[in-house]
Structure 1
Amino acid sequence: MVVSEVPKLASAAEYFFKVGAEGKKFRPTVLLLMASALSMPTPNSIAVEVASSFQKNMRTRQQRVAEITEMIHVASLLHDDVLDGADTRRGIGSLNFVMGNKLAVLAGDFLLSRACVALASLKNTEVVSLLATAVGHLVTGETMQMTTNAEQCHSMEYYLSKSYYKTASLISNSCKAIALLAGQTTEVALHAYSYGRNLGLAFQLIDDVLDFVGTTASLGKGSLSDIRHGIITAPILFAKEEFPELQAVIDKGFDSPANVEAALDYLGKSQGIERTRALAIEHANQAIAAINALPESDSEDVLIFRRALVDLSHLVITRSK
């Protein structure tokens, strides 16, 4: 779907879809598993040929949502790297580092435009609204991160809201879109949304842990990147609850390596990492509960894919990269 009359633009837009730089494809994997987990039996009254055509068309539309979601996600990464001045992403040079900020921004815009065209082709206003909302949330979350004041900086509630907008909204609204395209009820669609929301939050919480305990090689980005950019995440917030004096260090900012070391010292003495993992597990369990709340199914195939979604919840909280 990434086609342009300008080769340079097409090359830039495809940069993170190429072999070796395509990432984990976490979101498309979740969505395609959800599509199979919500598969509905075809009524016997419908002819086999008609049923087969219907199922194929529905699957194509759901796959298109997975593709659109990944395009939106990658576009947000391109824009984020420009805003952060990042020089690496996924273990290679970031697009803005390799081709410059202007082309990186334009490539992100181009991906969003192609995603919009693909979204319109689905001809489902509710699905369009869900994905458009998620794009708005990405912008909201990034703005929240850039404009955080002193009070918000120390608020766990603010941090979780920002994390939802930046990470969980896209996957949760996409899961709901998958359910709607499958012809599921509003109740089932809300369970799909809840799975995506809680899985996304768990993913972000573990990401925040790995920023402190991971390595540059495993993360594909500079270790301690968040705190060096002055971004306060759950491990530091939990550490501050145990050591209120950490707030004075945070207030000074992290331009100084000494302040970074001081914050890490407090974090090491605290239960910040452990409590963040515990919160991630709590959200993963809520994601699993959403899958278990789905209507019973006699299809072994459907049950296999539901178990895969449960397994994925476990993988999210045990991953090391």
Structure 2
Amino acid sequence: MYRRSLIRATSAATRTHGNNNGTLVRHKSMLREAVSSLGAAVSKGAQNDKKYQAALKSAAKLVEPDTPVKDPFSIVSKEMSTLVHNIGTLLGSGHPTLNKVAMYYFQSEGKHVRPLIVLLLSKALSAIPTEERDRGSRDESDVRSLKEPHGAGIDDPLSPLSILHGVNPDIVLNPLSRPMDELPTESNGILPKQRRLAEIVEMIHTASLLHDDVIDNSASRRSMPSGNIAFGNKMAILAGDFLLGRASVAIARIRNAEVIELLSTTIANLVEGEFMQLKNTAVDTTSKANRASFEYYIHKTYLKTASLMSKSCRAAAVLSGARDPVVEAAYQYGRNLGLCFQIVDDMLDYTVTDRDLGKPSGADLKLGLATAPVLYAWEQYPELGDMIRRKFDHPGDVERAREYVKKANGLERTEQLAVKYAEDAIRQLEVLPPSDSLDALKHLTKAVLNRKK
């Protein structure tokens, strides 16, 4: 379902480019022939020069006919198709009920946007010439179990299995946590550790969903009963904790200190963002308080949503060996995309039905949350400050707040903010060489902006 909506969004984003393609394609065809003739005419020595070959490849890419990427999933379909299975092996609990609850959200039709971003970015990074990826070392061989003391591979434990998993040959019970399966070797330009990174990111995100649904007392998620409704609060919380625990083990086995630090802080950021959301932000009704609340909202949004996207993008760039400017651009891309994603989500809470959204709509005001639409309306209607401070708890507060948002064009201004972050995200991708995966990242960004669920 999400793939279909993604295709519709990306098709709408590219439809405007199809009217004048006839002349452009003819011109590009002539240029392509010229590039091909140039390649055939140069000396053999020049053809073997790596820099020359890279320049020729880039020139040829520039004159290829425009072929919009209608489905970014297709670029990394192999990796995405095994995502849930691989996460299942990472969890590996011998307790059937714990396995069932922990895997509950993975078995529904989720967006899987975060692992998709990591995989597409990893593939786009592979288009950078190897000699320009010299920041540290690329983790190519650090993937399979090398059977060296203390575990040298990504799937090897650092401590004895008898300690980690309670393995005891004298008992009949299976260990509660099995050792992790080995990863395949590099494929499709994506390094094995980058594939594992995508899986870890989805585990952390899903753990946060289980916990959030308990905190918010949500009734549904992804068009099905939420984890707390299906299994109860206690099991939902424990399953989320288990996901974070197993994700932490997988993070440690990546054996890259910078990546471990990045991913570990995202877990802390999720908790910090949730605490900020629970706290009341409006202290008075002045314009200064409004600005402070908006800054608070953006920072909370970064912690709850954009932190995981931005730091996982940075981690993918670190693992690729890319240089500092590319690593920083990858982080900024994820940060801007994450902010855009959540701001669109906050807007959809006002405009989409429960059925289309896959979870309760109109929930933010009922939960006492002041998001961008109502914060923009507050600038024009100061009385909203009092409603925000009391978390829309008085009779009629929610309905009045919605009316103020409509009168103040709060949704239109929120959409403009989301567009700004989407454009900033796409601008960060300019450091990457042309490739299908780069095009897919751009179209995915536009799809995030134009999504309806």
TM over 0.5: yes
Tell me the secondary structure at the aligned position of residue 122 of structure 1: coil
* CA deviation after TM superposition for structure 1 residue 253, in Å: 3.3
- 5+ residue gaps, structure 2, are 1-89, 132-138, 143-184
- 1:38 pairs with 2:176: no
Query: Do 1:252 and 1:259's aligned partners in 2 also have CA atoms closer than 8 Å?
Result: no
Displacement, 1:150? 2.7
Hey, what does 2:186 align to over in structure 1? 56
2:140 and 2:225 map into 1 onto residues whose CA distance is 45
Q: Counterparts of 1:1-321 in structure 2 under 5 Å?
A: 1-18=90-107, 21-39=108-126, 40-42=128-130, 56=186, 59-151=191-283, 154=290, 155-292=293-430, 294-295=431-432, 297=433, 303-321=435-453
Specify the SS of the correspondent of 2:369: coil
Question: What amino acid is the match of 1:319?
Answer: R
Compute the displacement of 1:269 (Å).
0.7
Paired position in structure 1 for 2:79? none
- Offset of residue 147 of structure 1: 2.0
Question: Could you tell me how far apart the structure 2 residues matched to 1:120 and 1:22 are?
Answer: 29
Structure 1 contact 119–128 (Cα < 8 Å) conserved: yes
Q: Which residue of 2 aligns with 1:47?
A: none
Question: What displacement does 1:11 show?
Answer: 0.5
Deviates more, 1:239-248 or 1:97-106: 239-248
Unmatched segments (≥5 aa) in structure 1 = 44-50
Q: CA separation in 2, counterparts of 1:88 and 1:103? A: 16
SS of the equivalent of 1:288 reads helix
Residues 30-74 of structure 1, C-alpha deviations (whole Å, 9 max, x = no match):
11000011113446xxxxxxx997971862110100000000000
Question: Structure 2 length normalisation: TM-score?
Answer: 0.65
Read off the aligned partner of 1:129 and give its amino acid letter. E
Query: 8 Å contact 1:239–1:266 — kept in the other structure?
Result: yes
**In structure 2, what is the equivalent of residue 48 of structure 1?**
none
Q: Is the 8 A contact 1:230 1:254 kept in 2?
A: yes
- CA distance, structure 2, for counterparts of residue 136 and residue 279 of structure 1: 27
Q: Matches of 2:265 and 2:429 in 1, distance apart?
A: 24
The letter of the residue matching 1:32 is: L
Return the TM-score normalized by structure 1.
Answer: 0.91
Backbone CA RMSD of aligned residues: 1.9
Taking the aligned partners of 2:375 and 2:105, their CA distance within structure 1 comes to 32
Task: Check whether the contact 1:236–1:267 (CA below 8 A) recurs between aligned residues.
Answer: yes
Q: Is the 8 A contact 2:280 2:389 kept in 1?
A: no
Matched residue of 1:221: which SS? Answer: coil
Shift of the alpha carbon at 1:247?
2.2
Higher helix fraction: Structure 1 or Structure 2? 1
Q: Percent identity of the aligned residues?
A: 47
Residue 78 (structure 2) aligns with: none
* Shift of residue 140, structure 1, vs aligned partner: 0.5
The amino acid across from 1:105 in the alignment is I
User: 1:270: Cα distance to partner?
Assistant: 1.1
**Structure 2 vs 1, CA of residues 253 and 130 (structure 1 numbering), >3 Å: closer, same or farther?**
closer
Whether the aligned pair in 1 keeps the contact of 2:283 and 2:389 (CA below 8 Å) is no
Amino acid at match of 2:119: L
Contact 2:282 2:385 in 1 (8 A): no
CA contact (8 A) 2:140 2:192 kept: no
SS of 2:402's partner is helix
Separation of aligned partners in 1, 2:110 and 2:214: 19
**What is the CA distance between 1:166 and its match in structure 2?**
0.2
**Structure 1 residues 229-285: Cα deviation after superposition (integer angstroms, max 9, x where no partner):** 000100000011122222233344323451111111111111110111000000001
* Residues paired across the two proteins, number: 306
Q: Deviations over 1:149-202 (max 9, x none)?
A: 433984100000000000000010000000010011121110000000000000
For residues 2 and 269 of structure 1, what CA distance do their matches in structure 2 show?
A: 49
Give the 3-state SS of the residue equivalent to 2:91 in structure 1. Answer: coil
Larger radius of gyration: 2
SS in 2 for 1:290: helix
Residues 243 and 251 of structure 1, relative CA distance in 2, 3 Å threshold = same
Secondary structure in structure 2 of the residue aligned to 1:223: coil
CA–CA distance in structure 2, aligned partners of residues 279 and 264 of structure 1: 19
Shift of 1:124: 0.5
Offset at residue 222 of structure 1 (A): 1.3
